[in-house]
Structure 1
């Protein structure tokens, strides 16, 4: 337990640094580009992010689950085979999707979104799909061997450092196109760093000629892919849907407010970096008592730690948004609304990782599907009459429902109560699966 929280402390420190850099990146981009170009950047970023996720087809979570278990058991040959096979699949999948997005960019921008000015930024952003997908792969490989510090640095710190340096150089001359090139360049540089970190951390694994059953990989990765896809739609469908309904300037204001609210989830992300491999290992050893103790303790600490941030975003939303520029103060109510949903996300703890790491990914998929459908319905109902405020309300409700449903499922499947409600009420709300 002490070792887990020591790693969590290291991960949290790096997360704080990475989040500060990311926040500074958003600040600089907003100041340099203005709301409209920020909106275009966020629109093409979300499309590329979706393509990178599809290219991974859930393999990043398979690596974390099976890789951590193999390493814990000392079966390095099996771990080596899993890593090698996953690299091959992701390389081909993400590479083809990157090419497809590049070629279809004019049609997507002009026909789907009626924003032809998005075509060139989208083509440039398409070049980031493959390096980003591989970067996530190497991050999870490092996490699976308990290299928490390296993995957090690689995914949260390294890309932003490179992107920031390039942003200062390119954005003044090339505006939104320069910002996109800066992001893509940061991903390429981070991927190079990831390969180097892996070679340094795991020479005993990377030199082995292990093999792994492709059918076993895909039978687990595909359900996890649908989980990841639905999770992405839960978090990013608002901007994807608004792209065809709302002007880019409004999307820029909304996206900046949302990114600011997501700072609250920093605590959860930092803790997940340390506890997710531990969840998988404890469950594989059938040590449910230790698993329950770890999950409940982390949930309680997260709820307390995020409360001051929530209060700040509720009471001082307008001054917070003003730091991005006067036109961004219109996003103050958006910040407050989304912050409420994010607090529910943090306060329920690592429920998603807990379900995935204990073999309940299909149940999580069903919960995500229900929450996603509710979220999409609310977005389509609320955006036309209320615009970005409607999108914020829909996202808050969707996020809250997802985490409450997941916490109830954790109680029913693992007998771990992560929310302050009576056990009898939880049993009544969640029917047996």
Structure 2
């Protein structure tokens, strides 16, 4: 599909007044922003629960045992990216399109569940057989094979919860996806970990407890998703639907596999080339890095179905305007988070224990990749929603091969910093190329001069935060510097001027939330 004339040119895009935003664009922006607001709360809760779990385990197990657990957990997380075999993006692509055909929707959902269960069983069997060999190649600790085998069963269960959550998301329900995928999934892990440690268990008991708790969550998620969304999974008509389903899912799955080697090979190489303690330190770094991804994840919550609908209706110009505005909003939200993590990373890592402060430099290096990945917006999703999944697959694998070689060399030469450097370069490289592909294929281009405003405000916040750190000691600097830095950032944005589209979205949502609050208070 070709872009509408002028859809991608930044020079042809004028800054609108509040009243000049077309209704279709206004509706899309408000829908995505509302989803981002709802999601940001859920994702923030998810990150808080995850950080609490890692804090409890890091303190309760000790650096070496925690490193063994962290490696097994991260491998399971990597495999969970593959277990749905591309079903999650495929649900985002086709459930909105089949809105008027409940039977076809049910078939797509049925294929997603069946695919996930099949790959989950295969992964569990493979992990069971490979766990001793993985241990020999990595940490060489007696507790690792048992934990890894338990987590092998966890992968399929996580996949089921992800599919159920994706159905909520595909029909435009951010709350359902947030409840199961963002809150309950890490919540049951925290409860299981605390219970296992309180009962005196070590790594194996923690792993078994997490698997049992996740199994209960999956048993609840599937029927509740069907009842709330009306998308009842079925394999009736699966043979007719399978070809189109897997034509989209298969290249997405191959992209996911490529991305494991592209920007998650660092976890495997740290475990293979460094120590169990280093694996634990790097895992804590990834816990903090996950906070920086919150804005991108939040805005991406409802962008895929909105983009799919606009693209299917040949509204490329509107899609480009929405892409530009949403990307600028992501940048505006992520900059202050990056400032706090970069300036106060040592203090935040120290909360997990003194050994983890060694992860500060890898943290800062990794933040560079987060900035680039956030600054280009939802490039990967947009390639998939505009039916360019094969181009993304080829790019994922091209960069995966290059990244494995570079990251291996970096880890051998620089240790933990090398792991972060390789991943950061991979994230920056892929997202940079993807934004160029979107411009080439569809004429989509998000950038204009309005992106300079949050960057300039971020520089002001950075200077204030560093000044506070120089005069205020310890964790008090995080609180004082964070508050003053955010205040400086907000004041600078106000002074430099907020884009009218962003102002429009903020005022519309504020009015909606005030009205909702007033209705609740009147009850």
What is the TM-score with the length of structure 2 in the denominator?
A: 0.76
The equivalent of 1:77 in structure 2 is 103
The equivalent of 2:126 in structure 1 is 100
Cα shift at 1:175:
2.2
Asked whether 1:127 is paired with 2:183, we answer: no
Note closer, same or farther for the CA distance 1:261–1:289 as it changes in structure 2 (3 Å cut): same
- Deviation digits for residues 289-338 of structure 1 (CA, Å, limit 9, x no counterpart): 22111111110011111111111122111111111111111111111111
Cα shift at 1:167:
1.2
The equivalent of 2:350 in structure 1 is 322
In the alignment, the residues of structure 1 paired with residue 416 and residue 182 of structure 2 have an alpha-carbon distance, to the nearest angstrom, of 28
Q: Secondary structure at the match of 1:57?
A: coil
Cα shift at 1:420:
5.3
In the alignment, the residues of structure 1 paired with residue 45 and residue 225 of structure 2 have an alpha-carbon distance, to the nearest angstrom, of 22
Which of the residues 309, 332, 336 maps onto 1:304?
332
The equivalent of 1:425 in structure 2 is none
Larger Rg: 2
Q: Is the 8 A contact 2:116 2:159 kept in 1?
A: yes
Q: Is the 8 A contact 1:42 1:252 kept in 2?
A: yes
In the alignment, the residues of structure 2 paired with residue 167 and residue 112 of structure 1 have an alpha-carbon distance, to the nearest angstrom, of 24
Cα shift at 1:217:
1.9
In the alignment, the residues of structure 2 paired with residue 102 and residue 238 of structure 1 have an alpha-carbon distance, to the nearest angstrom, of 23
Q: Secondary structure at the match of 2:396?
A: helix
Which of the residues 166, 169, 174 maps onto 1:140?
166
Cα shift at 1:147:
1.7
The equivalent of 1:431 in structure 2 is none
Asked whether 1:191 is paired with 2:218, we answer: yes
Cα shift at 1:355:
0.7
Structure 2 spans left out of the alignment, 5+ residues: 1-27, 450-523
Q: Secondary structure at the match of 1:152?
A: helix
- The equivalences for 1:34-45 within 5 A come to 34-45=62-73
Q: Is the 8 A contact 2:263 2:426 kept in 1?
A: no
The equivalent of 1:276 in structure 2 is 304
In the alignment, the residues of structure 2 paired with residue 51 and residue 339 of structure 1 have an alpha-carbon distance, to the nearest angstrom, of 24
Q: Is the 8 A contact 2:324 2:447 kept in 1?
A: no
The equivalent of 2:366 in structure 1 is 338
Q: Is the 8 A contact 2:106 2:231 kept in 1?
A: no
The equivalent of 1:397 in structure 2 is 425
Note closer, same or farther for the CA distance 1:197–1:270 as it changes in structure 2 (3 Å cut): farther
In the alignment, the residues of structure 1 paired with residue 289 and residue 79 of structure 2 have an alpha-carbon distance, to the nearest angstrom, of 24
Asked whether 1:356 is paired with 2:397, we answer: no
Q: Is the 8 A contact 1:51 1:129 kept in 2?
A: yes
The equivalent of 1:200 in structure 2 is 227
Q: Is the 8 A contact 2:366 2:424 kept in 1?
A: yes
Note closer, same or farther for the CA distance 1:52–1:245 as it changes in structure 2 (3 Å cut): same
The equivalent of 1:294 in structure 2 is 322
The equivalent of 2:508 in structure 1 is none
Note closer, same or farther for the CA distance 1:160–1:82 as it changes in structure 2 (3 Å cut): same
The equivalent of 2:471 in structure 1 is none
- Deviation digits for residues 196-238 of structure 1 (CA, Å, limit 9, x no counterpart): 4213213364589554422222222111111111222233210
Cα shift at 1:412:
1.5
The equivalent of 1:428 in structure 2 is none
Q: Is the 8 A contact 1:56 1:90 kept in 2?
A: yes
Cα shift at 1:150:
0.3
In the alignment, the residues of structure 1 paired with residue 334 and residue 57 of structure 2 have an alpha-carbon distance, to the nearest angstrom, of 26
Asked whether 1:285 is paired with 2:285, we answer: no
Q: Is the 8 A contact 1:223 1:361 kept in 2?
A: yes
In the alignment, the residues of structure 2 paired with residue 264 and residue 205 of structure 1 have an alpha-carbon distance, to the nearest angstrom, of 36
The equivalent of 2:488 in structure 1 is none
CA RMSD of aligned residues (A): 2.0
Which of the residues 176, 186, 191 maps onto 1:160?
186
Cα shift at 1:284:
1.0
* Higher relative contact order structure (alpha carbons within 8 Å, sequence separation ≥ 6): 2
Q: Is the 8 A contact 2:120 2:153 kept in 1?
A: no
Which of the residues 102, 116, 134 maps onto 1:90?
116
Cα shift at 1:114:
4.0
In the alignment, the residues of structure 2 paired with residue 269 and residue 85 of structure 1 have an alpha-carbon distance, to the nearest angstrom, of 25
Aligned residues: 419
Cα shift at 1:266:
0.7
In the alignment, the residues of structure 2 paired with residue 323 and residue 197 of structure 1 have an alpha-carbon distance, to the nearest angstrom, of 38
Note closer, same or farther for the CA distance 1:43–1:208 as it changes in structure 2 (3 Å cut): closer
Q: Is the 8 A contact 2:403 2:426 kept in 1?
A: yes
Q: Is the 8 A contact 2:161 2:218 kept in 1?
A: yes
